[in-house]
Structure 1
Amino acid sequence: MKTSLQLKMSQQLTMTPQLQQAIRLLQLSTLDLQQEIQEALETNPMLEVREDDAGDGEHSHHNDNLNGESHSSDSLNGDASKHETSTNDDSDHRQEVEIQEHIPDDLAVDSSWDDIYTHTPTSHGLPSGDDDFNFENVYGTTDSLWDHLNWQLNLTTMTDRDRLIAEAIIESVDSEGYLQSSLDDIFEGLIEALSGDDDPLEMDEVEAVLRRVQHFDPPGVCARDLADCLSIQLNQLPEETLWRSDAIKIVKEHLDLLGTRDYAQLMRKTRLKENDLRDVILLIQSLNPRPGNQIESGKDEYVVPDVIVRKDVKNNRWLVELNPEIAPKLRVNPSYASMVKRADNSSDNTYLKDHLQEARWFIKSLQSRNETLLKVATNIVEHQRGFLEHGEEAMKPLVLHDVAQAVEMHESTISRVTTQKYMHTPRGIFELKYFFSSHVSTEGGGECSSTAIRAIIRKLVAAENPRKPLSDSKIATLLGDQGIQVARRTIAKYREAMHIPPSNERKSLI
């Protein structure tokens, strides 16, 4: 085997740490971004939060166009899409020593290299300065249904034997409040636990304890089935409640007829008139078929909009701006930056140089994220003016490719920008992905978005006669009359996605 020396030239794409950071910041949600900024402030002495109020009251409004001016990379103003240079005195600028590293004006965050770099954001929030007294931390609750039931059990006077039975019953309750195990299984398990007692356990004891536990809050808990759950709630109502006895009879004997909405058969079985049956059904519908859901565990999650859209009535145009509250304003600390010596290679000076470069790249990455987010949001608003003016029925078809082509970026970049980013509009807060939908052709040669079709279906169902609800075929016919050709199976798919039951389940006397 002969040894030889060969010279080869090749080209390959590599992602620098700075580009990785820019892409990672681009796809972070608001809470994740706040956590990232907090970590950067804690680890990099060169970064600090701007305390000046020079630009706090100003918001740079953008409509249709994105200002492409270059900005200083040493500061980032968190105001809505407005990036200002540092307001320090000229003496502070003269003290800073420039590092010989080129930071481009337009940082490239556009990339289709999803297979090279992936990131799964974690849900963290920026801790606030008043965490020592937080209303939700003090008065909120994270108790589960089982904690809630055991807390009531501890306040109930019982013998040790009955308490053991009650604990076994509570352990078999699922998250909706129903018993997962049959009473026979609970009884057999308790026999083994009480095998050492001289007095053998009887089923009557288990049933008696079950009836006591079923009086716990929430009403209807520890039920064996739906009929049992509704009966427990009805029995806990005052005896003088109108139609209580008739409701109990229907729940215990004719729940299947009520489920199939066979009102004619119900009236024959119960000998109730139509108006009376309507009142009984209203009473039953006021009950909770899933009592365990009343006890929610965990903390509430809040959505902080990244983009704010409002209408300038005077000029009749829509203004798009970044939310100034999503991130603090950052800058390079001028005092620490002035300590960097150009020709000094000591460890201390190298430490300061490295952190100064990291701080400038981080600020530039944040600025690029804001500019990209604003550019994409502005383009979305351009496409969906009809939605902002008239609602969902005026939503136009829009796909990632349309926005990517308009802003001259890759579709994967648009996907990153629109994930877990929210827009506040006069019609509510929506995720940016909400404004994207497929299209259906109309008879006039135009296009109608799937979101608009869903809105029309919802409107038709809301206006239908509850005695004769619209079938999927009838809805398809009504859409066809409006020039929108949609198949019946597509109507069914959209209806199920909106959690609208089929026509036979929507039938009602009310």
Structure 2
Amino acid sequence: MALGARLEVRQGQGLVITPQLQQAIKLLQLSGLELDAFVEAELERNPLLAREDRDPDVEAVAPDPGAEATFAADRIPESGAEARLDISHEAEASPGERATGDMAAGEDAGGAIDWSRTSGGGFESDGDLAQRLSGVATLRDHLFAQLSVSGLDRARLAAAGVLIDSVDEGGYLRCDLVETAERLGCDAPFLESVLVVLQGFEPTGIFARDVAECLRLQLIERDRLDPAMAALVDNLDLLARRDMAALRRVCGVDDEDLREMIAEVRGLTPRPGAAFGGEPTASVTPDVIIREGPGGLWNVELNSDTLPRLLVDRRYFARVSAGARTDAEKVFVSDCFSQANWLLKCLDQRARTILKVASEIVRQQDGFLAFGVSHLRPLNLRTVAEAIGMHESTVSRVTSNKFVSTPRGVFELKFFFTASIASTGDGEAHSAESVRHRIRQLIDTERPGDKVHSDDRIVEILKVSGVDIARRTVAKYRESMRIPSSTDRRRMMATAG
């Protein structure tokens, strides 16, 4: 068969995702914070976009109908019977590297270390200034205050600054001494001697590398680290399992002494740094708010605080369009105008899609809202997608990183999607989350003197109530809730008694 080159013309169908459609799909899965960052970037890039509160005299322009964000079958109706929509379109080096440099600088200059430069950010940085103004002392500030009066030489001061930067919020040292010594150009014994000094700082137990060392430092400070107590601290795994017989053997004490030792260990602090202020916890802002209405109905609405309020500066567009002289300038202005219109349509489509998905979830899980987690129904993405006429992947993107405020608390939208546990009869299947709740309830009702429920016994109780579940599934759910086994729970009750 002869080989040769030739031209062929073929006709076929294919799906092409334009950059505009890619942007619309991307916006669906962004969280509130990510959406804010995206909008800020667009405001800087596109001069025709403006926030509503920036210029109240700017006129809003309706988005171009031809630029509508279409998701094939995922068309959103203008209104729904169960939902309300309220949205408008109007118009440097690491801390360790800094400390290493300061060590060399201190040696060369022959003077004291400048703590406004050493070990990550000066005292006049924005974060430190805000921290001082708030009046909350951080663990790092507390340790550096003690270091400033420790009397260490310059080299040890710089090394200590690196170790302080490696302490986590609980007070534990999270660095390898050998690697840190190599990075600082010193030997490990030198760094160990610095660590010994730092472990004498307040609060007691600081700079420990594990829980056992943290407890040991506190016992040394109390002059209570005798051989029996040292053996107890070295075998915390036996204490966690409540294996009192093994603990008595390794410690060489009787039952009464062991109980006193355990009580003393329980009085220690496993996280000595937790008492100090740390990074502020970011609060979750719900994207959807669900309120109970009259007649047992639920009102679903978007949280207006999470919706970007943007507009197109029509007057500025008219001015720059009239002043554009070259073809490049005209194309740039036209592109900015069309992209601004498209962004407004995408944001509107995103809001409507979130509202529609949330409304269907509320319809499916109204039992949870009314009666609690025991009435949570099995639900998957396909069920919601088919009910509202969208693709399953669209529902998945909408429910990612989105939160809903309900009378029962704030939940991620994915919380309402749970696996199905079959019923023993012809009844309705059970939600995996509701089964977990029942397992926790059964274990919480256990009391000293009563028979502790084994996993097999829990299976029997659940089957009587209509839940067809395997023992290994019960064990998996119990472990996911960090509930000990029946043997460990029995030991815990005996210890408590």
Calculate the TM-score normalised by the size of structure 1. Answer: 0.69
**Which of the residues 306, 310, 313 maps onto 1:326?**
306
Q: How many residues align?
A: 427
Counterpart CA distance in 1 for 2:160 and 2:62 is 74
Q: 1:336 and 2:316 equivalent?
A: yes
Counterpart CA distance in 2 for 1:473 and 1:228 is 39
| More divergent stretch after superposition (364-373 vs 330-339) | 330-339
**Which of the residues 229, 238, 242 maps onto 2:214?**
229
SS at match of 1:398: coil
Q: 1:470 and 2:453 equivalent?
A: yes
Residues 361 and 232 from structure 1, CA distance in 2 versus in 1: closer, same or farther, beyond 3 angstroms? same
Match of 1:483 in 2: 466
Q: Is the helix fraction higher in 1 or 2?
A: 2
Counterpart CA distance in 1 for 2:360 and 2:373 is 18
SS at match of 1:485: coil
CA deviation map 1:282-338 (0-9, x unaligned): 5533433354666786553332211111111x3321111111001332222231344
Displacement, 1:451?
0.8
**Which of the residues 35, 38, 52 maps onto 1:36?**
38
- Please tell me whether the aligned partners of residues 97 and 341 of structure 1 are also in contact (alpha carbons under 8 angstroms): no
Q: Which runs of 5+ in 1 are unaligned?
A: 54-86, 112-130, 196-200, 240-244
Displacement, 1:167?
7.7
- Please tell me whether the aligned partners of residues 309 and 319 of structure 1 are also in contact (alpha carbons under 8 angstroms): yes
Counterpart CA distance in 1 for 2:435 and 2:66 is 51
Residues 250 and 473 from structure 1, CA distance in 2 versus in 1: closer, same or farther, beyond 3 angstroms? farther
Residues 42 and 173 from structure 1, CA distance in 2 versus in 1: closer, same or farther, beyond 3 angstroms? closer
Q: 1:155 and 2:177 equivalent?
A: no
Letter in 1 for 2:201: F
Letter in 2 for 1:12: G
Counterpart CA distance in 2 for 1:220 and 1:452 is 42
Match of 2:481 in 1: 498
**Which of the residues 438, 441, 446 maps onto 1:459?**
441
SS at match of 1:325: helix
Match of 1:82 in 2: none
SS at match of 2:304: coil
Counterpart CA distance in 2 for 1:450 and 1:381 is 18
Residues 304 and 402 from structure 1, CA distance in 2 versus in 1: closer, same or farther, beyond 3 angstroms? same
| More divergent stretch after superposition (497-506 vs 276-285) | 276-285
Counterpart CA distance in 2 for 1:231 and 1:14 is 65
Displacement, 1:425?
1.2
CA deviation map 1:349-394 (0-9, x unaligned): 4433322211111100000000001111111111111111222221
Match of 1:285 in 2: 266
Q: Which runs of 5+ in 2 are unaligned?
A: 75-125
Letter in 2 for 1:103: A
**Residue correspondence of structure 1 range 360-399 to structure 2 within 5 A:** 360-399=341-380
Counterpart CA distance in 2 for 1:346 and 1:179 is 60
Residues 211 and 40 from structure 1, CA distance in 2 versus in 1: closer, same or farther, beyond 3 angstroms? closer
Letter in 2 for 1:284: V
Match of 1:121 in 2: none
Letter in 2 for 1:425: T
Once superposed, what is the RMSD of the aligned Cα atoms?
4.6
Counterpart CA distance in 2 for 1:290 and 1:151 is 20
- Please tell me whether the aligned partners of residues 63 and 345 of structure 2 are also in contact (alpha carbons under 8 angstroms): no
Counterpart CA distance in 2 for 1:163 and 1:235 is 25
Displacement, 1:228?
4.3
Letter in 2 for 1:155: V
Match of 1:449 in 2: 431
**Which of the residues 283, 293, 313 maps onto 1:302?**
283
Query: Comparing both chains, which one has the higher relative contact order based on Cα–Cα distances under 8 Å and sequence gaps of 6 or more?
Result: 1
SS at match of 2:50: strand
Match of 1:84 in 2: none
**Which of the residues 62, 67, 77 maps onto 1:103?**
67
Identity over aligned pairs, percent: 36
- Please tell me whether the aligned partners of residues 139 and 273 of structure 2 are also in contact (alpha carbons under 8 angstroms): no
SS at match of 1:45: coil
Displacement, 1:503?
2.9
